[in-house]
Amino acid sequence: MPEPPARGGTKPAPSQALQGPTGQVGDYMSAFPHRLQEAERD
């Protein structure tokens, strides 16, 4: 599982993104809207 983008990462894991700050979640949803559905389902 990828580490959280604390050092300029570009692809946070779904679990990391959903549990991260609101800004991080927003970036994740903007970049990977199709992945968000998988994350919520998981």
pLDDT single digits (tens) 2-34? 555 555 556 655 555 455 455 555 565 565 655
pTM above 0.75, yes or no: no
pLDDT at 9: 53
Q: How far apart are CA 3 and CA 34, in angstroms?
A: 20
Cβ contacts of 37 within 8 Å, gap of 6 or more: none
Q: Mapping DSSP to helix (H, G, I), strand (E, B) and coil, where does residue 11 land?
A: coil
Q: Quote the pLDDT of residue 39.
A: 53
Q: Report the pLDDT value the prediction gives residue 41, as an integer from 0 to 100.
A: 54
pLDDT of residue 36: 52
> How high is the pLDDT of residue 15?
57
The C-alpha atoms of residue 14 and residue 39 are separated, in whole angstroms, by: 5
Where do the domains of the chain lie?
13-42
pLDDT band for 37, please (50, 70, 90 cuts): low
